[in-house]
Amino acid sequence: MGQPNPPEGAGEAGPDKPPLRVGMVGYAFMGAAHSQGWRTAGRVFDLPLRPALTAICGRDPAAVRAAADRHGWASAETDWRALIERDDIDLVDICTPGDSHAEIAVAALAAGKHVLCEKPLANTVEEAQAMTGAAQEALGRGRLAMVGFNYRRVPATALARRMIADGKLGSLRHIRVTYLQDWLVDPEFPLTWRLRKELAGSGALGDLGAHIVDLAQYLAGEQLSGVSALTETFVRERPLSGGSVKGLSAVSAGGTGPVTVDDAALFTGRFPSGALASFEATRYATGRKNALRIELNGERGSLAFDLERLNELSYHDGTEPATHAGFRRILVTEPEHPYLDAWWPPGHGLGYEHTFVHQARDLVRAIAEGRQPDPSFADGLQVQRVLAAVEESAEKNSVYTPIAV
């Protein structure tokens, strides 16, 4: 393939800027979200490089062609190896299921590309280690790698980080985080790649738990030292829909296949500072669609964020007189708030998709300045170690399990 679409300048930050030519692998939910990010970042923010949507890659020729047209990519490829060999690609953006992250990322870095990889970084600690090694080696050649934990890029969570770093909460005591979805409640919901360990690595744990582990550690400014966990798979057999899951034809005789990942993960953790944390990630919270909530309690105050009200941050200043102290709502839409100087006038809120625009903005700036973007592959590896410790603890029936370093 590789035939160009008519030039239409999608994602251009101004023709005078040098381009950052992006090749993206994958075009489903995350591919669409990342496309929005690349298309919009240079139009909203003043960026030193102009993101160019140069090529999109997927195995199905007709589907990838349609995705290129829909999302504004200039050309399409059906083999990621062909994509990373192209000398008109500067950055490879990996939006595939976890089983291919390591192979694509390591090869792309070796081919001299910058890499953005969707979370969780990999399916196993070993793969994440290989990716981190490749990223460290590539850094010496000026090639940069970042993992896509997009919830760091909600203006309200970025503001929370700033307030915590400024000491507004003092020492943290408690962090409680929940990430609740309900798309598996129906036992007839088909077996998809997200429900197979060899493709997704784990279930709610890797998909949702990875987000809340990263967010909690990012906001706390430190990394968990150990966890104690419970996991469960509530529905263990699900219908196969049209043989769409790679490698499952052998078990499709009865029309169903086994779910090989967790449906829910609950765990507690300790931070080196002494703070305690609790985490809940599930796809069975009936009525909850994409409900991520985090509350942090410190000696001087508390903060709470709820993704369903993502333009707001709740803050309690514990140093105020009890007569009028209380949680107050900060509307995070002022130009002084993170990311908001380039958006709408105060009060005109942002949404989920803007986190991907901010992710593209931050990565483009880091590349232009030649500095390591956050979160790094090493950060992704550390989250992977937490996930592995959660699985180990759950297997051992909730024994407190230190995290390997």
Which C-beta is closer to ligand SOE: that of 10 or that of 245? 245
CA distances (Å), origin 17, targets 11, 90, 361: 12, 15, 14
User: Least distance in Å: CB of 391 to ligand SOE?
Assistant: 18
- Among 234, 261, 212, 219, which Cα is nearest to 386's? 212
Do 294 and 175 form a contact (C-beta atoms < 8 A)?
yes
**What is the per-residue burial (b if ≥16 Cβ within 10 Å, else e) of 141-168?**
eebbbbbbbbbbbbbbbbbbbebbeeeb
Q: How many residues does the chain have?
A: 405
In sequence order, what E strands does 210-255 have?
226-232, 237-239
Which C-beta is closer to ligand SOE: that of 241 or that of 290? 290
Q: Does 289 bind ligand SOE (CB under 6 A)?
A: no
Burial label, 277 (beta-carbon count in 10 A; 0-12, 13-18, 19+): buried
Residues 191-220 that bind ligand SOE (CB under 6 A): 207
Count of chain residues binding ligand SOE (CB under 6 A):
4
User: Least distance in Å: CB of 151 to ligand SOE?
Assistant: 7
Which C-beta is closer to ligand SOE: that of 192 or that of 401? 192
User: Least distance in Å: CB of 225 to ligand SOE?
Assistant: 25
Q: Residues 181, 228, 382, 393: which binds ligand SOE (CB under 6 A)?
A: 181
Residue 6 CA to chain centroid, in angstroms?
A: 32
Spatial distance between the Cα atoms of 38 and 356, rounded to a whole number of angstroms: 8
Do 173 and 276 form a contact (C-beta atoms < 8 A)?
yes
Which C-beta is closer to ligand SOE: that of 206 or that of 301? 206
Q: Residue 354 corresponds to which tokens in the numbers above?
A: 């803007």
Q: Residue 195 corresponds to which tokens in the numbers above?
A: 């429900």
Give the CA count within 13 Å in the CB-facing half-sphere of 309.
12
Quick note: the x/- pattern for ligand SOE over 245-274, rule CB under 6 A, is: ------------------------------
Which C-beta is closer to ligand SOE: that of 271 or that of 339? 339
User: Least distance in Å: CB of 358 to ligand SOE?
Assistant: 14
Spatial distance between the Cα atoms of 151 and 209, rounded to a whole number of angstroms: 12
Spatial distance between the Cα atoms of 55 and 25, rounded to a whole number of angstroms: 9
User: Least distance in Å: CB of 193 to ligand SOE?
Assistant: 11
Do 177 and 211 form a contact (C-beta atoms < 8 A)?
no
Q: Does 29 bind ligand SOE (CB under 6 A)?
A: yes
Q: Residues 290, 320, 331, 353: which binds ligand SOE (CB under 6 A)?
A: 290
Residues 149-178 that bind ligand SOE (CB under 6 A): none
Which C-beta is closer to ligand SOE: that of 97 or that of 298? 97
Which C-beta is closer to ligand SOE: that of 84 or that of 360? 360
Which C-beta is closer to ligand SOE: that of 42 or that of 155? 155
Which C-beta is closer to ligand SOE: that of 29 or that of 344? 29
Minimal CB distance residue for ligand SOE: 207
Spatial distance between the Cα atoms of 237 and 229, rounded to a whole number of angstroms: 23
Residues lying near ligand SOE in the complex (CB under 6 A) are found at 29, 181, 207, 290
